[in-house]
Every structure is written in structure tokens, then in C-alpha cells.
Amino acid sequence: MAKTEKTEKGSKIQSWFDGLKAEFRKIIWPDQKTLVKQTGAVVAVSIVLGVVIAVLDFIFQYGVDILVNMSF
């Protein structure tokens, strides 16, 4: 590899990191109150969905067991 290729590659990498830093400066980080509220909402929704999926799984399993154990 020629020296110009290494320099060009290095400048592309440096440019990429400069762009990354610029994007990170644009991020608006939430304050602690907002973060706690949003985390609580995510946890609550996850628990509710977990319960809904568990109930549906139980219902479907019960229905399949009834169909499998039917005697004709």
C-alpha cells in the first residue's frame, strides 16, 4: 500500500469519527425524572405483555390438550 493510500484511509476513518462525535453532540439526553418515568413505562408494558402472552399460551395449550385427548 502506498503512503497516500494509508493517509487517505486514515483521513476517512478520522472523518467518520468526527461525524460520529458531531452526531453525539446533537443528542438530547433525558433528565432523571423523564428517564425514570419512561423506564417504568417500559417495565410495566413488558410485564403486561408477558402476562397476556402467558395467558394466551395457557388457553391455546388447554385447547390443544382437549383436542388431542378427545376420544371418538
**Per-residue pLDDT tens digits for 17-42:** 999 999 999 999 999 999 999 999 99
Contact 39, 31 (CB under 8 A): no
Distance of alpha carbon 8 from alpha carbon 1, whole angstroms? 11
Average pLDDT for 54-65: 96
Q: DSSP letter string over 2-38?
A: -HHHHHHHHHHHHHHHHHHHHHHHH--PPPHHHHHHH
Average pLDDT of the residues in 47-65: 97
Q: Let me know whether 24 and 50 are in one domain.
A: no
Residues 38 and 60 in one domain: yes
Please tell me the distance from the alpha carbon of residue 6 to that of residue 45, in angstroms, as a whole number.
50
pTM for the structure as a whole: 0.60
| Mean predicted lDDT score pLDDT of the chain | 90
Number of domains in the chain: 2
State which residues form the domain around 50.
31-72
What is the pLDDT, as a whole number, of residue 5? 57
Q: Within a 10 A sphere around the Cβ of 50, how many other Cβ atoms?
A: 10
